[in-house]
C-alpha cells in the first residue's frame, strides 16, 4: 500500500514504519514531505516543521510541500 494512502486513511503509524525503513541515503524531498506529514498528524509540530522545511529546501518549486510547510509554520506561531 502507498504511504500517501495510509496517511489519508489515518494509518500514520503504519505509514511511519514504512518511511523509517527507507535508508537515509535514499530519503528525497518526497520522503521528508511524507515524514513531516506523519509527524504533523501525530501532533509533533516541531519535528514536522523540520522535515517539511527540508522537503521545501530540496524541491522549492513544489507547491504541495510549501503549502504543508506554511500550515505548520502558522500553527507554530499560534
4-56 confidence digits (pLDDT tens): 999 999 999 999 999 999 999 999 999 999 999 999 999 999 999 999 999 99
Give the model's pLDDT for residue 76.
87
Q: Which of 62, 46, 51, 53 is nearest to 20 (CA)?
A: 51
Q: pLDDT at position 69, please?
A: 98
Q: What is the rounded distance in angstroms from the CA atom of residue 43 to the CA atom of residue 2?
A: 22
Q: Is the pLDDT of residue 58 over 90?
A: yes
Structural domain count, the chain: 1
The whole-number pLDDT of residue 52 equals 99
Q: Are 34 and 2 in contact (CB under 8 A)?
A: no
CATH assignment of the domain containing 19: 1.25.40.10
Domain that holds residue 52: 3-77
Q: Is the pLDDT of residue 1 over 80?
A: no
**How many helices (H) and strands (E) in the chain?**
5, 0
pTM confidence score: 0.95
Amino acid at each position: 500500500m502507498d504511504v500517501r494512502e495510509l496517511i489519508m486513511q489515518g494509518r500514520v503509524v503504519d505509514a511511519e514504519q514504512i518511511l523509517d525503513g527507507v535508508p537515509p541515503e535514499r530519503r528525497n524531498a518526497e520522503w521528508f514531505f511524507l515524514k513531516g506529514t506523519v509527524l504533523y498528524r501525530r501532533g509533533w509540530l516541531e519535528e514536522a516543521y523540520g522535515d517539511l522545511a527540508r522537503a521545501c529546501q530540496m524541491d522549492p518549486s513544489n507547491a504541495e510541500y510549501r503549502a504543508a510547510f506554511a500550515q505548520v509554520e502558522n500553527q507554530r506561531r499560534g
